[in-house]
Amino acid sequence: MENASVPSVDNIRFDGSARTRWRLGFDRVIGWLLPLLFLVAILPILSLVYYVSARALPTLSWTVLTSTSPYRTDALGVPIIGTFEVMLLATLLAVLFGLFGGIATAEFLSDRVAGWVRMSANLLVGTPSIIIGYFGYFTFVLYFGWGLSYIAGVFTLSFFMTPYVFRTADLAFTSVPRHIREAALGSGAKPSQYILKVGTPIAFPQILTGVFLAMAIGVGETAPIVLTTQPGVLVPQTVYSPVTFLTQLIWENFAQSQSSGLQVLAFQAAFLIMVVVIALNIVVRLISSRYRKRLEGLYA
Amino acid sequence: MRWLRWVAALPALAPAAILIGILVALVGATSFTNFGWGFFGFHWDPPTDQWGIMVFLIGSFLTAVPALVFSMLIGIGIAVASATYLPGYLTRILDPFVDLLAGIPSVVYGIWAFVIVAPVFGSVLEPWLVMHVAFIPGFGPPTRTDGLGVLISIFILTLMALPITTLLIRDALRSVPRDLWESGLALGATRWEVVRRVAIPYGRRGIFSAAFLGFGRAFGETVAVAMVLGAATNLPKNVYDTGNTVAAQMFELLDSAIGGTGSPQILAALAEMALVLLGISLVVNVLGRRLIASLYTEQVQGL
Amino acid sequence: MSGEASSPSANGPVLAVRGLTVTAAKRKILDGVTLDFPPRSLTAVVGPSGCGKTTFVRTLNRMVELTPGLRVEGHVDYVGQNIYGPGVNPVLVRRRIGMVFQRPTVFPMSIFENAAFGLRLIHEPEEVVDRAVTEALVRAGLWDEVKQDLDRSALSLSGGQQQRLCIARALAVNPRVLLLDEPTSALDPAATQRVESTMERLKQDIVLVLVTHNVSQAARVSDRVAFLHSGRLIEVGPTADVLERPKDPLTEQFITGRFA
Q: Phi and psi at residue C42, in whole multiples of 5°?
A: -125, 110
Interchain CB distance below 8 Å, A27 and B192 = yes
Q: What is the rounded CA–CA span in Å between residue B162 and residue C210?
A: 46
Residue C17 has phi, psi (to 5 degrees) of -100, 130
Q: What is the pLDDT of residue B292?
A: 77
Give DSSP secondary structure letters for chain A. Answer: ---SSS------B----HHHHHHHHHHHHHHHHHHHTHHHHHHHHHHHHHHHHHHHGGG--HHHHH---TT-SS--HHHHHHHHHHHHHHHHHHHHHHHHHHHHHHHHS-HHHHHHHHHHHHHHHHS-HHHHHHHHIIIIIIIS---S-HHHHHHHHHHHHHHHHHHHHHHHHHTS-HHHHHHHHHTT--HHHIIIIIIHHHHHHHHHHHHHHHHHHHHH--HHHHHH----SS--SSTTS----HHHHHHHHHHH---HHHHHHHHHHHHHHHHHHHHHHHHHHHHHHHHHHHHHHHH-
Which among A50, A84, A39 has a CA at the least distance from the CA of A65?
Answer: A84
Q: How confident is the model at residue A230 (pLDDT cuts 50, 70, 90)?
A: confident
pLDDT at B32: 52
Alpha-carbon distances, residue A69 vs A65, A152, A232, A266, A270 (angstroms): 11, 25, 12, 18, 21
Task: Give the model's pLDDT for residue A54.
Answer: 93
Closest CB to A209 among B191, B220, B299: B299
**Cβ contact, residue pair A6, C88, below 8 Å:** no
Q: CB-based contacts of A279: which residues, under 8 Å, 6+ apart? A: none
Q: How many CB pairs under 8 A join A and C?
A: 68
Q: Do B187 and C63 touch (CB under 8 A)?
A: no
C26 pLDDT band, cuts 50/70/90, is: confident
Taking residues A31-46, what's their average pLDDT?
A: 94
Mean pLDDT in runs of 10 for chain B (303 residues)? 74 88 85 67 80 90 96 96 90 88 91 92 91 87 86 96 93 90 94 94 92 94 91 88 92 77 76 91 91 60 49
- Position C91: which residue type? V
Per-residue pLDDT, A87? 95
Q: Examine residue B142 and say whether the peptide bond preceding it is cis (omega within 30 degrees of 0).
A: yes
CB count within 10 Å of CB A291 equals 18
d(CA A96, CA A165): 9
Domains (range + CATH), chain C: 15-255 (3.40.50.300)
Q: How far is A180 from chain B (nearest CA, A)?
A: 20
Contacts of A105 in chain B (CB under 8 A): 12
CA angle B281, B72, A50 (to 5 degrees): 95
How many degrees, rounded to 5, is the angle at CA B178 between CA B176 and CA B180?
70
Using the beta-carbon criterion (under 8 Å), do B189 and C66 form an inter-chain contact? no
Q: How many residue pairs from chains A and B have C-beta atoms closer than 8 A?
A: 276
Beta-bridge mates of residue C228: C233
What ipTM was assigned to the predicted interfaces of this complex?
0.90
SS3 of residue C210 by DSSP? strand
Q: What pLDDT, in 10s, does the model give residues A18-37?
A: 888 899 999 999 999 999 99
pLDDT class of C30 with cuts at 50, 70, 90? very high
Q: Which residues of C touch B177 (CB under 8 A)?
A: 105
d(CA C81, CA C75): 9
Residues 32 through 71 of chain B touching chain A, CB cutoff 8 Å: none
- Residue ranges covered by each domain of chain A: 60-299
The percent of residues above 90 in pLDDT, for chain A, comes to: 39
Q: Give B230 to chain A, closest Cα distance, Å.
A: 12
pLDDT tens-place string over residues C45-89: 999 888 889 999 999 999 998 888 899 999 999 988 899 988 888
Question: CA–CA separation, A287 vs A29, rounded Å?
Answer: 39
- Those residues with Cβ within 8 angstroms of residue A32's Cβ, 6 or more apart along the chain or in another chain: none
How many CA atoms lie less than 13 Å away from B255 in the CB half-sphere?
A: 24
Please tell me the least confidently modeled range out of A176-190, B167-181, C110-124, C192-206: A176-190
Count, residues in chain C: 260
Q: How far apart are CA C250 and CA C254, in angstroms?
A: 6
B180: chain C residues, CB-CB within 8 Å: 105, 107
Sketch out chain B's domains with CATH numbers. 60-291 (1.10.3720.10)
Binary contact (B187, C117; C-beta < 8 A): yes
Give the residue from A269, A232, A218 showing the smallest Cα distance to A90: A218
CA distance linking residue B248 with residue B233, whole number of Å: 11
Instruction: Give tens-digit pLDDT for A74-123.
Output: 788 888 999 999 999 999 999 999 999 999 998 888 888 888 999 999 99
Residue A299's pLDDT is: 39
pLDDT of residue C7: 43
CA distance linking residue B148 with residue B239, whole number of Å: 10
What is the band of A199 on the pLDDT scale with cuts at 50, 70, 90?
A: confident
The residues that bridge with C75 in the sheet, in sequence order, are C18
In this predicted model, which residue has the larger pLDDT, A284 or C208? Answer: C208
- Residue C184's pLDDT band, with cuts at 50, 70 and 90, is very high
Query: Domain A60-299 belongs to what architecture?
Result: Orthogonal Bundle (1.10)
Indicate the average pLDDT of chain C: 90
The pLDDT mean for chain A works out to 85
Subunits with 3+ C-beta pairs closer than 8 A to C: A, B
Pairwise CA distance, residues B160 & B158, whole Å = 5
